[in-house]
Amino acid sequence: MAFHYALSADLGPERREAAHAPPLSSAIEVRGLWKVYSRQKGDALSPGIVENPEALEVLEKDRRAVVAVRDVAFSVEPGETFIVMGLSGSGKSTLIRCLMRLVEPTAGNIAVNGRNVTAMTPQELVRFRRTEVAMVFQHYGLLPHRTVLENASFGLKLRGEEAAARTDKAKEILSRVGLEGWGRAYPASLSGGMRQRVGIARALVMDSPILFMDEPFSGLDPLIRRELQDELIRLQRTLRKTIFFVTHDLSEALRLGDRMAVMRKGSIVQVGSPDDIIADPADDYVARFVQDEREQVARAERRMAERRAG
Amino acid sequence: MFPKTLEYHVAPAVNSFIDWLVVDHAVFFDAVSAGILSLLLKVNRFLIWLPWWSVLLAVALLGVYATRRPLAGLFLGLLLFPIGMFGLWPMAMETLSVVITAVFLALILGVPVGVLMAERRGASLVLRPLLDAMQTMPSFVYLIPAMMLFGLGKVPAVLATLIYALPPVIRLTELGLRQVPQAVEEAALAYGATRWQLLREVRIPLAMPSILAGVNQTTMMALAMVVVASMIGARGLGQEVLLAINRIDVGRGFEAGSSVVLLAIVIDRITQNLARRWEPPTR
């Protein structure tokens, strides 16, 4: 009895540690991630709240707390394009911000490239953001008082690189995203699609292995959106980056994604390849989500069958 | 009638407090006084040394640069001509030197305080009522503390002007920094900006139009105050106005008064258009 007790005490915690430590093969590894916002100011929420479901439920019912991300776990392999899809308010934007701690998670573990993001000090976090990841935003987030070239090389400047090297790299990338000769223009003179090309250039210049994209094409009209999706596919063919891509557009998810996760009210309800999710939705919510796509496929198949018959 | 028995004066206490302050901390007040005076005199000597036409020319060139319209710039330069014509040129330069000194000090103090208020909520909560009080107080009242601490003369005039003109630049610096779009700040943070980099590369440049609007306001307030400050010994155009009032000399008052107005118009147009030049390009 005593022996047994000693053995489990010895192995228990380390075993659990080992199980929690992400395998190095994953680019992004997330375990038990929570983000709970408190509605009232000064209503501090301790990380322990997530281990007390009853108390949390009461807080939610009283509208004193909002759970934006609820016990989320997933992993993304290197070179994979991983899509997170959900309606607005489903927590996907909060989730992507948690991954680089633009939003501080309430609880859980995040590892990126085998490095524990949740445990980073502010200095480590700055270094991490400068070298390991780069992000593209829905609303571009460009600096209006800087030229396209300066915007594209902004991350390099923050990283402390020489002006000449910055300009060279940014120019090269700008021509790769189809903005050659636009370096001296200001963001205000560009169309939405071109602004987002600058946003993409700014991310690619960093040469980081991981790309976060938060609904990058959602604000663009359908033709431009399609054009930029093609551009991303073309770039990705040579870059082979790990892309974490958030969208509410199913057809976009299908075009770009290797795998996708569907989010609802802060939880991930299904993870799988796009085809699997369309063929075999896990619940009503996902089914409704993919309904349009299924109908289109069905219609297309019917047409093909008719044509073959006729 | 208010009963005589309830009358109680704090004036003696205030006087003895000021006596104690000024005597016991004489070194400090002397140093401040000497510093301000030497700055003021340098500015004044330089302005007086400049030939009148070169001032007109400089204002015209600055006007052209600021407004981007050659005619408007030229007109601004010519607006200063009547001041010399009225024989008030040295007085105008004296007034201008008090304004320049006060605004210079206001910017050195005001911009960092504005940044502090935008960065720290606590500072904003503490300082905002103080700024409100400073702006509600009639300008005359500022003459009292300045006079109490530094007596009569140019230095208290600069100081009263400084205190009166300080709030706008602080407020507009804070406002400008708070108005920077969240999306731009977030993007900078995502690319690994430190707090200092965020301030220097993103927040201050984007707040610049607002900060410069504050500079414009502060300069205009300083010009208004410098006329009032002639009561405690600031020479210049204000003194001319004061003398004209005392002697009921309407014509002289008109000349001095309109000189102040001309100076105000020129300074306002130039600083306002300079602020506009700092706005991010829209095309």
By Cβ distance, the residue of A100, A144, A158 closest to B280 is: A144
Local confidence band at A1 (pLDDT 50, 70, 90 cut-offs): very low
Q: Is the pLDDT of residue B88 over 50?
A: yes
Measured on CA atoms in the order A126, A132, A138, A140, is the torsion positive or negative? positive
Q: Is the pLDDT of residue A43 over 80?
A: no
In a domain? residue B129: yes
Q: Which residues of A touch B281 (CB under 8 A)?
A: 144-145, 186, 188-189
Burial of B16 (0-12, 13-18, 19+ CB in 10 A): exposed
| pTM for the whole structure | 0.80
Query: Residue A3: what pLDDT?
Result: 41
Local confidence band at A41 (pLDDT 50, 70, 90 cut-offs): low
Query: Residue A152: what pLDDT?
Result: 93
Measured on CA atoms in the order A90, A94, A100, A101, is the torsion positive or negative? negative
Which residues from A are below 8 Å from B when comparing CB atoms?
100, 102, 126-131, 134-135, 137, 139-145, 154-155, 157-159, 186, 188-189, 202, 206, 212
Summarised one tens digit per residue, pLDDT across range B11-53 is 888 888 888 887 888 888 888 889 999 999 999 999 999 999 9
Residues in CB range of A150: below 8 A, 6 or more apart: A143, A157
Q: What angle separates helix B52-67 from helix B70-79, to the nearest 10 degrees? A: 150
Asked if B22 contacts B147 with a C-beta cutoff of 8 angstroms, the reply is: no
**Which tokens in the block code for residue B9?**
């004066």
Q: Is the pLDDT of residue A24 over 60?
A: no
Instruction: Please tell me the distance from the alpha carbon of residue A95 to that of residue A266, in angstroms, as a whole number.
Output: 8
Q: Is the pLDDT of residue A8 over 60?
A: no
Instruction: Please tell me the distance from the alpha carbon of residue A194 to that of residue A182, in angstroms, as a whole number.
Output: 10
Instruction: Please tell me the distance from the alpha carbon of residue B83 to that of residue B79, in angstroms, as a whole number.
Output: 8
CA distances from B131 to A33, B105, B115, B176, B177 (A): 45, 17, 15, 17, 17
In a domain? residue B182: yes
Q: What angle separates helix B250-277 from helix B70-79, to the nearest 10 degrees? A: 150
Inter-chain CB proximity A144 and B184 less than 8 Å: yes
> Could you give the residue ranges of the DSSP H alpha helices within A153-249?
154-159, 163-176, 192-205, 222-239
Which residues from B are below 8 Å from A when comparing CB atoms?
183-184, 186-194, 197, 201-202, 205-206, 208, 280-283
Summarised one tens digit per residue, pLDDT across range A91-116 is 899 999 999 999 999 889 999 988 89
On average, the pLDDT of chain B sits at 89
Q: Which residues of B touch A135 (CB under 8 A)?
A: 187, 190-191
Q: Is the pLDDT of residue A16 over 60?
A: no
Query: Residue A197: what pLDDT?
Result: 92
Using a pLDDT cut of 90, give the percent of chain B over it. Answer: 55
Pick from A253, A242, A212: nearest CA to A83: A253
Summarised one tens digit per residue, pLDDT across range B204-227 is 999 999 999 999 999 998 888 888
Asked if A276 contacts A244 with a C-beta cutoff of 8 angstroms, the reply is: no
By Cβ distance, the residue of A144, A154, A189 closest to B191 is: A154
Rounded to a whole number of angstroms, the distance from the CA of A279 to the nearest CA of chain B is: 37
Pick from A154, A162, A33: nearest CA to A97: A33
On average, the pLDDT of chain A sits at 85
Higher pLDDT, B151 or A177: A177
| CATH code (residue B93) | 1.10.3720.10
Query: Residue A6: what pLDDT?
Result: 38
Local confidence band at B146 (pLDDT 50, 70, 90 cut-offs): confident
Instruction: Please tell me the distance from the alpha carbon of residue B212 to that of residue B273, in angstroms, as a whole number.
Output: 10
Pick from A279, A215, A233, A175: nearest CA to A83: A215
Q: Is the pLDDT of residue A9 over 80?
A: no
Beta strands in A179-303 (DSSP E): 210-214, 242-247, 259-264, 267-272
In a domain? residue B252: yes
Query: Residue A88: what pLDDT?
Result: 81
Summarised one tens digit per residue, pLDDT across range A210-269 is 999 999 998 888 899 999 999 999 989 988 899 999 998 888 988 899 999 999 888 999
Instruction: Please tell me the distance from the alpha carbon of residue B165 to that of residue B159, in angstroms, as a whole number.
Output: 10
Chain A interface, mutation test: which of B125, B180, B191, B203, most A Cβ atoms within 10 Å?
A: B191
In a domain? residue B20: yes
Torsion of CA A177, A182, A185, A191, to 10 degrees: -50
Q: Which residue has the tokens 């708070």?
A: B178
- Among A61-70, A294-303, B164-173, the minimum mean pLDDT is found in A294-303
Local confidence band at B102 (pLDDT 50, 70, 90 cut-offs): very high
Task: Compute the count of residue pairs across chains A and B with CB atoms less than 8 Å apart.
Answer: 76
Q: Is the pLDDT of residue A310 over 80?
A: no
Query: Residue B178: what pLDDT?
Result: 93
In a domain? residue B33: yes
In a domain? residue B214: yes
Inter-chain CB proximity A158 and B201 less than 8 Å: yes
Inter-chain CB proximity B192 and A139 less than 8 Å: no
Question: Residue A214: beta bridge partners?
Answer: A246
Inter-chain CB proximity A126 and B194 less than 8 Å: yes
Summarised one tens digit per residue, pLDDT across range A138-173 is 999 999 999 999 999 999 999 999 999 999 999 999
Asked if A266 contacts A90 with a C-beta cutoff of 8 angstroms, the reply is: yes
Inter-chain CB proximity A158 and B183 less than 8 Å: no
> In terms of residue numbers, what domain contains B250?
10-49+80-277
Q: Which residues of A touch B208 (CB under 8 A)?
A: 145
ipTM rounded to 2 decimals = 0.82
Query: Residue B151: what pLDDT?
Result: 80
Opening angle at CA B209, ends A144 and A185, nearest 5: 25
Instruction: Please tell me the distance from the alpha carbon of residue A302 to that of residue B217, in angstroms, as a whole number.
Output: 72
Instruction: Please tell me the distance from the alpha carbon of residue B254 to that of residue A220, in angstroms, as a whole number.
Output: 62
**Which tokens in the block code for residue A9?**
């005490």
**Which tokens in the block code for residue A285?**
């919510």
In a domain? residue B270: yes
Q: Which residue has the tokens 């007086």?
A: B48
Query: Residue A128: what pLDDT?
Result: 93
Q: Which residues of A touch B183 (CB under 8 A)?
A: 137, 139-141
CB count within 10 Å of CB A219 equals 15
If one counts the domains in chain B, the total is 1
Query: Residue A18: what pLDDT?
Result: 43
Asked if A29 contacts A23 with a C-beta cutoff of 8 angstroms, the reply is: yes
In a domain? residue B59: no
Q: Which residues of A touch B202 (CB under 8 A)?
A: 143
